[in-house]
Structure 1
Amino acid sequence: MKKALLAATAVVASALTASLVVAPAASASGWEWPGRHHDRTSIPFTEATVTAAADGSYALKWNAKGTRHVEIKANGKVVAKGGAQGRATVQGLPAADRQWFDFKADHGQGLHLADRQVKLEGAVNFRDIGGYRTTTGQWVKMGEVYRSDALDKLTANDRAKLQRLRVKTVFDLRTQDERGKDADRVPAGARYVVADVFAGSGSFQTMPKSPDEAVQAMIGAERSMVSGEGGKKAYAQVLDGVRDDRAHAVLFHCTAGKDRTGWADATLLTALGVPQETVLADYLASNDYRKAANEAILSRLPAPQAAVYKPMLDVRPEYLNAGYDEVKAKYGTFDRYLKDGLGLDARELRDLKRDLLVG
């Protein structure tokens, strides 16, 4: 029992701090999302996804409005064809660190896409933040920025894979205590950067006593990520690092890869112009990637205790919405948060979009 409690605490305590002010649940309704512009892209695809299956096959889906023909290649060979809208299943491709597909319609710019998750032996929530369409019709490049849960269990094979994927900068969003107990195993030659989101705020000492208290604690933690000095400094470091390292891939992570990492991801995607509903869906995907790990933790706890821990293992819309509500309350707009909170001015934002968007 004690080991189960410690395992659960290791995952959730990182999102809770002694300095949190518990706030009521909030909704992002009424939030004015930046960048609601008409499409101005040369990319005809409004939808394009790659989903890897356990049997080694890949499910492809696309929608390229205003076109007649779409052709998809893998490893330089045509693996699927169709009309403007379609689906295909591709089998028999050789094993690869990541299998890439080139989507090309009969006119306009194409897309270079892979399954979002990168399968590793020592991490379950490692994925690409790219492959999303923005409100302007541009797309976030894949293979440039990754997000993950803890890296302390990465195997030699994992680290070699990340090296081949060009990961050269790793931002660790965890606390000093977490880093001391479970030190990162980074790929050879990578630059390791501490970006402690909760630096100076102390660690959470008293666990919530009810599911409702747990939910409120998670909401308070999300708000602290936005307005706390540690959070502002850490996320500014991440944005600067992504913008500065143009030749290699960047990785940021925390313990579960869902809360501190989730806000870093939401901040970057929002800055790039990805719609709110897409950002939320990406945030909530941690529930799927961490499903087995979370269920294993909860199964070792008594039912009343599991009920308290579950909200802290989850990601929920109200958690992310609390972050956006804090931005609105403190800064008014997301652009002001980027500029005044994280120090990203208009020129730097243009540079970020130039480097990470296509179309």
Structure 2
Amino acid sequence: MRAHRWRTGLVAVAAGLAMLVAPLVRSVPATASTAGFGQASAIRGADGSYALSWASTATAVTVTAGTSPAGGGDGVAVGSGAGTGTLTVPAGTLPATTRWYFTLTPNSGSPLVVADRSLGLPDATNFRDVGGYRTSDGHWVRMGVAYRSNKLSGLSVAEQQVLVDQHVTLDVDLRNGKERSDDPDRIPAATTYRVADVEDLSHGIDFHDGAVLTLLTALALGLLEGTGNMGQRIAYPFMVDFGGADRAYRTLLTGIAANPQATVFHCSSGKDRTGWGAAVLLTLLGVPRATVEADYLASNDYLGRADAVELSWLRAAFDEVDALYGNFDGYLHDGLGLSDATVDALRARFLA
């Protein structure tokens, strides 16, 4: 592995220093078509209306709205449509509540629950559901199980109640000590708070490969591919190479796996350390890379900044995974130290 890593790094450095050429062209994997729902979404409008859309192999779909991510139970019928269709739920149709989940029930096959990804928290605008995505093998990532966010230090009492209503019982903080001290989380009293510092040095400074080599490779590829922020382009591979980051993401994933209720994880802006954590979780669950990248880029919209994140940064982290471990499964087990039982528990918890 070490020899392979050195060859890869040296080739990248040589290429980056020798040629400043056009960015590399990367292919986007296609999503295979399988039975059931191939697409589904619920988007809440500014006026409180909902725009639903779906595509399925069924001939008809009925839609009910409820307050539970499990669907059913308290469902209120809001309409129906063809196997592939759309439905608008006008503002005022449903009474005000923290969050509405919509159960799409086909006339053949299993139902699917979707909701608007954002919880609409004014003081945590990047607080959003990790679920609602389709995997490569046709499963769906359940909503209401895990959320990603920016810092939670400004949550009002009403916003904290939203976390209670969504059964968020675990808060995993990926920030460093100074960030935690300057802006401590404001969360419900019953929510467990856990630190998973991605920059933690308490166990020493350890890298899976030479820090200098990681730095030079990231710099060379940043020059070769182009980036609007070289510092970020360099930082992402270190979230894979640094032992402290491994411990943090292991704490995050094992915590989510063990929590029977919902979990939120966050850093300061909810885009870099949190962005990689979400990318790792979604990839572990079998979500296609193109969808993982779209979720990552959505921080630009939620934060209202076109340059909040850049796709080349995320791809640099995935490239580091391949360079160090050969594949993503190697990263999960040899890098993060996850057991098969933890991986299986996460998949059982999330996949519908």
Task: Calculate the TM-score normalised by the size of structure 2.
Answer: 0.81
CA–CA separation in structure 1 for the residues paired with 2:26 and 2:82: 37
For 1:127-206, list aligned pairs within 5 A.
127-200=128-201
Matched, 1:82 2:81: yes
Counterpart in the other structure of 2:43: 51
Counterpart in the other structure of 2:261: 248
For 1:11-160, list aligned pairs within 5 A.
29=26, 39=34, 44-65=36-57, 67-75=58-66, 76-91=75-90, 92-160=93-161
CA–CA separation in structure 2 for the residues paired with 1:199 and 1:350: 27
Counterpart in the other structure of 1:224: 238
Q: Please, which of 326, 337, 342 is the counterpart of residue 320 of structure 2?
A: 326
Per-residue deviation, 1:239: 0.5
Counterpart in the other structure of 2:208: none
- Alignment check: 8 A CA contact 1:163 1:188 kept: no
CA–CA separation in structure 1 for the residues paired with 2:131 and 2:270: 16
CA–CA separation in structure 2 for the residues paired with 1:249 and 1:164: 11
**1:248-267 Cα shifts (integer Å, max 9, x gaps):** 10110000000000000000
CA–CA separation in structure 2 for the residues paired with 1:197 and 1:28: 31
- Alignment check: 8 A CA contact 1:149 1:256 kept: yes
Per-residue deviation, 1:187: 1.6
CA–CA separation in structure 1 for the residues paired with 2:248 and 2:268: 15
Matched, 1:339 2:333: yes
CA–CA separation in structure 2 for the residues paired with 1:28 and 1:237: 35
**1:79-133 Cα shifts (integer Å, max 9, x gaps):** 1211111111101211111111110101111111110001113111000000100
**1:187-209 Cα shifts (integer Å, max 9, x gaps):** 221111111111227xxxxxxxx
Distance 1:259 1:78, change over 3 A: same
- Alignment check: 8 A CA contact 2:227 2:233 kept: no
CA–CA separation in structure 1 for the residues paired with 2:29 and 2:333: 17
CA–CA separation in structure 1 for the residues paired with 2:243 and 2:25: 23
CA–CA separation in structure 2 for the residues paired with 1:239 and 1:38: 29
Counterpart in the other structure of 2:213: none
Moved over 4 A (4+): 23-28, 30-33, 36-39, 211-214
Specify the SS of the correspondent of 2:229: helix
Counterpart in the other structure of 1:285: 298
Amino acid at match of 2:241: S
Identity between Structure 1 and Structure 2 (%): 41
Q: Please, which of 267, 276, 281 is the counterpart of residue 280 of structure 2?
A: 267
Specify the SS of the correspondent of 1:78: strand
Per-residue deviation, 1:141: 0.6
CA–CA separation in structure 1 for the residues paired with 2:275 and 2:227: 21
Amino acid at match of 1:68: T
Task: Calculate the TM-score normalised by the size of structure 1.
Answer: 0.79
- Alignment check: 8 A CA contact 1:168 1:190 kept: yes
Per-residue deviation, 1:32: 8.9
CA RMSD of aligned residues (A): 2.4
Per-residue deviation, 1:315: 0.8
Counterpart in the other structure of 1:297: none
Counterpart in the other structure of 1:301: none
Distance 1:37 1:349, change over 3 A: farther
Per-residue deviation, 1:224: 1.0
Question: Number of residues paired by the alignment?
Answer: 302
Per-residue deviation, 1:343: 1.2
- Alignment check: 8 A CA contact 2:51 2:87 kept: yes
Per-residue deviation, 1:163: 1.2
CA–CA separation in structure 2 for the residues paired with 1:167 and 1:28: 41
Structure showing greater relative contact order (alpha-carbon pairs closer than 8 Å, 6 or more residues apart): 1
Note the residue ranges of structure 2 that are not aligned, 5 or more in a row. 1-12, 67-74, 206-222
Amino acid at match of 1:196: D
Distance 1:240 1:31, change over 3 A: farther
CA–CA separation in structure 2 for the residues paired with 1:319 and 1:71: 41
Per-residue deviation, 1:322: 0.5
Note the residue ranges of structure 1 that are not aligned, 5 or more in a row. 1-22, 202-210, 295-309
Amino acid at match of 2:157: A
